[in-house]
Amino acid sequence: MDNEKIDLRICEAGDTLISSHGTKLKYVRPTTDREYLDHVVEYFDPLRGQGTRTHEGFVFQFNRVPETDDDIVKIIKKKK
């Protein structure tokens, strides 16, 4: 799947994200200056914890491997 149109800057805490492998994650917040990449996301599986993604939803900023990377391909806005 292609995530060209993903922009995590539109996300709010609690939005659901779908990865290229079908994994559901939760959007947490933008990163701070001392954190890696641009946005903090959290797996619904507590054993997997949190991770970070670029504005475009990529796991890595440069060395990407689409077959294994859990890149974000869809944003589902939380209901208000």
Q: What is the pLDDT at residue 26?
A: 97
Q: Tell me: the pLDDT tens digits for 12-67?
A: 999 999 999 999 999 999 999 888 899 999 999 889 999 999 999 999 887 777 77
42: helix, coil or strand?
A: strand
Angle CA 35–57–50, to nearest 5: 50
Beta carbons within 8 Å of 33's beta carbon, 6+ residues apart: none
Predicted confidence band at 70 (pLDDT cuts at 50, 70, 90)?
confident
Q: What is the CA radius of gyration of the chain?
A: 12
CB of 52 within 8 A of CB of 36?
Answer: yes
pTM greater than 0.85: yes
CB of 74 within 8 A of CB of 15?
Answer: no
Q: Which two tokens stand for residue 13?
A: 């805490």
d(CA 63, CA 48): 22
Is residue 4 pLDDT above 70, yes or no? no
